[in-house]
Each structure stands twice: as structure tokens, then as C-alpha cells.
Amino acid sequence: MTLFFGQRRAVRDSSAVRALAAGSVGNFVEWYEFGVYGCFATVIAARFFTPQGGGEAEALVRTYASFALAFFFRPVGAALFGRLGDRIGRRPVLILVIVLMTVATTLIGALPTYATVGALAPWLLTFLRVLQGLSAGGEFGGAVAVMTEFAPPGRRGLYGSWQSFTVALGLLGGAGAAALLSSVLTEEQLGDWGWRVPFLLTLPLGLAALWLRLRLEETPAFRQETEAVSPPPREVAGAIALGAARIMGWAAAGYTFLVVLPSYLQSTLDASFQQALIATVLANVGFAVTIVPAGLLSDRAGRRAVMLTGALLVVLLSLPLLNLLQDTGTSNTVKGAAVFAAGAVVGLMAGPGPAMLSELFPTNVRYTGLGLAYALANAVFSGCAGLIITETVKRTGNVDIPGYYAAATCAVSVLALVKAPKRKAS
């Protein structure tokens, strides 16, 4: 009998590991691309959004407008693929979204530029960004549902944190690839063809993710509860709104410090491309370091305590950290520590966040509900971060805007989290 139960536990553990791998690698591919796009925003602006007579600031704003548009299609993808995932299963939908993401991202690396096809270039890029937005909207809900539904009792925070951890790895991989290329290629080579390489690398990464997802099993929770009665739409909508409010600070601060930072440092503080990329790598390392410990801690101390700590630290530290970067008398070591710390405090919110969202919804609406909460928060507060910050700094001349933006959104999350029940993983 002991041997029998031991075998069953080994099977469950093996399935959980495969679920983590299948969910993680898809997230890595998705966020690797977003990291690359953020790091090469100024290069893309010059190649796709600079018609004759257009200035650099105008081109950068248009680049971030395309960036934001992809995020606004995330809720559409979350609703579409989430509904499918709650009806036919997590596995087939996760396979579909990774194929869509891989194809769209690879094609960006092969697109003709404005100099080649004129005004068609930005439209082609925007179309592929829309496809990415749709697939990204379907990615998060499915990946988190798979990770948390396979998680052993009392380990949802730890398992869910791997979603955020692979986001960090993806952003770090994108920034690292950009930094490596900038160090081995001349500025002319980088602008001519080098920027394409990280996008084209998505193809083998996507194929690896597809292989893992083809081997994925359907989650036990989905198999057991497909016939359960769905909660009233008003109740689901309320949970979606609450979830979005709780993570809006994570979304906004994350994109401010981890994605928008390179172009902000270049366009506003006159940093070099390589300096901006190094700062982004450090911020993403700080982000990655705290995520899994934060998820594990939330299994013991509760989601609210850990996420509140991160949100409050952003409110208190955003402006001081930004002022350190702006001060020309600050050493590079101190500046590096500042961006590392900025990423680390965001990780305190990102670690418990996926499990917190998962626990807001029953199984038969979980894919849709948590996917929409995440997509809505990111559409408004992440996708628009670059556009809002760049345009506001341009119009007001106030270089503290990124700090105000991150602090204000985290303040709202603090209020939403204060009302959250003190709940541990179940």
C-alpha cells in the first residue's frame, strides 16, 4: 500500500514539474520579446516610425503607441482564449497561443523598414503587435491556471511565482541579448540588421515551448469540475476588478523600472544605449532575485502581507531612487544598486500575485477571470506606461514623472490589498 501511494505521489510530482516547465517556457518566450522591444524602442522608432520631418521624440511616442496597442488587445485575447480554456481545457489553448506568439514575434525580425516600404512598415509592425497582444492575453491565464492547479497543497504561492520568475528571466534575456549585441556590433550594424537577431531567436525558443506543451497533461482540477455551475457574472466581474486593482501597481512599476527605463535614460538623462541596457539588466536581476522567495513566503505569511510590503516600498522609494539616477554626482555603483533595488521591490508583488489571482476564481472560470484581471491591469498601466511617461515628460519637462507614476499606481494597489482577506494558500 505504501508503495502504491508513493507511486501516485511520484506521478503527481512529475506532472507538476512538467506543468511548471510548460507554463514557464511559454512565459519566457512572451516576455523575452517584450523585453527586446523595450530595449530596442529607440532603434525601432528610427526604423519604423520616423517619416521625413519627424523628430526622435515623436517617433518614440509612436513606437510606444504601438506597444500600448498590443496591450489593449490582451483583454480580448484573455476573454477569447480564456473562455476556450475554461470549456475545452488548458492544454490545447496553451498550445495555440504559443504558436501564435512565436510566429508573430519571428516575423517582426523579418519586417521591411520604413526606408524600404514607406508607411506600410509601421502598419505591418502594429498588426504583428496586435497578434502578440492576443496571444499574450491567452498566455497568462492558462499558464497560471496550470501551475497553481498542479501545485501541491499549501504551495500555490511558490508554484505561481514561477510565472513571474520566468517573466523576469524573459525580460532579462531580452535585455541581455540587446546588451550583448550592442557590445559586439557597431552602432551602424545594430541599427541596420543587428536588432533583428533577438526577434528571430524566438523561433527555436517557441519550438521548444511547443514541444513541452504537447507533452502536458490536462489539470486534475479541470477534469473534475467541468460540470460545476459558474458563479454569477456580477460576482466574476467584481473579482476581476478587485484583482486588477491589487496588481495595477505591480504592472505599472514593473514596466516603469524594467522595460521603459532604457529609453527614459537615453532620451531624458542622456545615457548611452549600453549604459541604459546595463541598468535594465540590473533592475531585472533584482526583480528575479526576490520573486520566488516572495511566493514561498506568501504560502506561510499570506499573499496580502508580502504584496503590501512591496507596494508600500514602491510608494516610499520611487522618487528617491529616481533622483539618485538623475544626480550626475552619484557614482555608477550607487546607481546600479538603485535600479537593482527598484526591481527587487517589484518582485515582492510579482511573486505572490499569480496565486492571489488564481484564488479569486473557481476552476470553471479561472482561466478567463485571472487572465482578464491581469490583462486589464497590464493594458492600462503597463502598455501605456511608456506612452504616458514619454509624452508627459516631453510636455512638462518634469523628469520625475516615472517616479510619480509608479508611486501613484502602487498607492491604489495598497488600498485594494488592505481590504483583501488574510488568506493563505488552500
Split at pLDDT 50, 70, 90, the class of 1 is very low
Question: Which residues neighbour 236 within 8 Å (Cβ) at sequence distance 6 or greater?
Answer: 230, 361, 365, 368, 369
Q: What is the DSSP letter of 260?
A: S
Q: What is the DSSP string of 17-40?
A: HHHHHHHHHHHHHHHHHHHHHHHT
All residues at 6 or more sequence positions from 317 whose CB lies less than 8 Å from its CB, including other chains:
341, 342, 345
Contact between 107 and 408 (Cβ < 8 Å): no
pLDDT tens digit string along 19-42? Answer: 888 888 888 888 888 778 777 877
Question: Could you tell me which of 228, 273, 248 has the C-alpha nearest to residue 357?
Answer: 248
Set of cell numbers at residue 181: 549585441
pLDDT at position 343, please? 93
Q: Are 45 and 125 in contact (CB under 8 A)?
A: no
Task: Give the contacts of 364 (CB within 8 A, at least 6 positions apart).
Answer: 86, 225, 226, 228, 230
What pTM, to 2 d.p., does this model score? 0.83
Q: How confident is the model at residue 56 (pLDDT cuts 50, 70, 90)?
A: low
> How does pLDDT run across 279-295, given as a tens digit for each residue?
888 888 999 999 999 99
Query: Given this model, what pLDDT does residue 341 score?
Result: 93
Residue 11 neighbours by CB under 8 Å, 6+ apart: none
Residue 278 has pLDDT above 50, yes or no: yes
Residues 6+ away with beta carbon under 8 Å from 106: 199, 200, 202, 203, 206
Q: Which domains does the chain have, with CATH numbers?
A: 15-215+231-418 (1.20.1250.20)
Predicted pLDDT of residue 13: 64
pLDDT band with cut points at 50, 70 and 90 for residue 207: very high
Whether the predicted pLDDT of 228 surpasses 80 = no
More confident residue, 251 or 379: 251
121 closest CA partner among 45, 190, 185, 183: 45
Q: At residue 230, does pLDDT exceed 80?
A: no
Question: Is 80 exceeded by the pLDDT of residue 58?
Answer: no
**pLDDT of the residue at 360:** 93
Instruction: Of 14-28, 129-143, 192-206, give the lowest mean pLDDT range.
Output: 14-28
Averaged confidence pLDDT in the chain = 85
Q: Over the stretch 240-269, which tens digit does the pLDDT of each residue have?
A: 999 999 999 999 998 888 877 767 777 777
